[in-house]
């Protein structure tokens, strides 16, 4: 506001000088010395008034600059203290802000894979920087949207001769890891998508799958993959238990009164 006022005064001062010079030039022959002196005195007074106002405004500008610099320093100190409260520096918060904004856009538009979004979200959730006022409300909103993203899509795979669950799981277009075969079994042991006539519609034994069966192939997140790999001991025990049971059945002599449920 004061800068605009300063500009207006300087413009008025310039116009006054120009106008005075013009009047003097036009009336030079007609003005008496006394009239000329009166006009010059009047213009001098106006000039002095404008100069005084200009000096006052310049002084105000200097004061505002000093005040602004002081407030900038106070603001920077407050920011540093705030960032230090979550164990971060200004540069670390800047890096976090970039990652946060990118993930927020990705989740809002549901672009890319949910698995990648969950991985980045876990990194953000592990940082105390998310507790800063700038991020806290947006972080909670992002979490709700990520939860509402919906389950990962499920694809299908048709079994061909020579296939087994571990071979299918190891295919690059499936999981690229043979050890993830239990995920396929879990998804299909209660019922496959479809199967040809006289071909089982369920897979009670993971070692027995048949050509033509259409399997459900669930998309796994990183966390789900880790959980599946941790279960490998249980799957191994299941397999050993199945073999042991079969051997026991071969050696046992069933009793006549025994019934099977």
Average pLDDT over residues 72-86: 93
Average pLDDT over residues 83-95: 94
Q: Per the structure block, which two tokens stand in for 209?
A: 């799958």
Average pLDDT over residues 189-203: 93
Q: What percent of the chain has pLDDT over 70?
A: 76
pLDDT band at 169 (very low <50, low <70, confident <90, very high): very high
Q: pTM for the full model? A: 0.45
Residue 157 to residue 174: CA distance in whole angstroms: 9
Q: Is the per-residue pLDDT at 121 higher than 90?
A: yes
Q: Per the structure block, which two tokens stand in for 139?
A: 């972080």
Average pLDDT over residues 53-65: 94
Residue 128 to residue 39: CA distance in whole angstroms: 73
Q: Is the per-residue pLDDT at 240 higher than 80?
A: no
pLDDT band at 254 (very low <50, low <70, confident <90, very high): very low
Residue 138 to residue 172: CA distance in whole angstroms: 37
Average pLDDT over residues 64-70: 93
- pLDDT score of 125: 94
pLDDT band at 179 (very low <50, low <70, confident <90, very high): very high
Q: Is the per-residue pLDDT at 49 higher than 90?
A: yes
Measured from the Cβ of residue 211, the count of other Cβ atoms closer than 10 Å reads 13
Residue 131 to residue 84: CA distance in whole angstroms: 12
Average pLDDT over residues 55-78: 93
Q: Is the per-residue pLDDT at 248 higher than 90?
A: no
Mean pLDDT score of the chain:
82
Residue, of 11 and 208, whose pLDDT is higher: 208
Average pLDDT over residues 4-17: 58
């Amino acid at each position: 506001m004061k800068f605009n006022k300063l500009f207006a005064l300087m413009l008025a001062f310039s116009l006054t000088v120009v106008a005075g010079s013009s009047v003097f030039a036009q009336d030079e022959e007609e003005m008496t010395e006394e009239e000329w002196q009166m006009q010059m005195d009047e213009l001098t007074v106006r000039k002095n008034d404008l100069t005084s106002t200009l000096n006052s405004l310049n002084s105000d500008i200097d004061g505002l600059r000093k005040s602004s610099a002081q407030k900038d320093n106070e603001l920077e100190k407050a920011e540093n203290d705030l960032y230090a409260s979550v164990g971060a520096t200004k540069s670390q918060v800047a890096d976090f802000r970039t990652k946060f904004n990118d993930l927020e856009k990705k989740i809002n538009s549901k672009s890319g894979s949910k698995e990648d979004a969950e991985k980045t979200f876990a990194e953000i959730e592990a940082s105390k920087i998310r507790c800063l006022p700038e991020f806290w409300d947006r972080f909670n909103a992002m979490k709700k949207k990520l939860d509402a993203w919906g389950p990962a899509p499920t694809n299908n795979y048709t079994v061909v001769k020579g296939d087994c669950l571990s071979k299918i799981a190891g295919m690059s277009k499936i999981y690229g890891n043979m050890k993830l075969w239990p995920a396929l079994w879990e998804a299909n042991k209660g019922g496959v998508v479809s199967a040809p006539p006289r071909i089982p519609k369920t897979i009670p034994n993971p070692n027995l799958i048949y050509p033509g069966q259409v399997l459900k192939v669930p998309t796994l997140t990183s966390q789900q993959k880790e959980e599946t790999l941790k279960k490998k001991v249980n799957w191994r025990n299941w397999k050993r238990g199945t073999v042991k049971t079969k051997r026991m059945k071969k050696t046992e002599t069933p009793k006549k009164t025994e019934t099977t449920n």
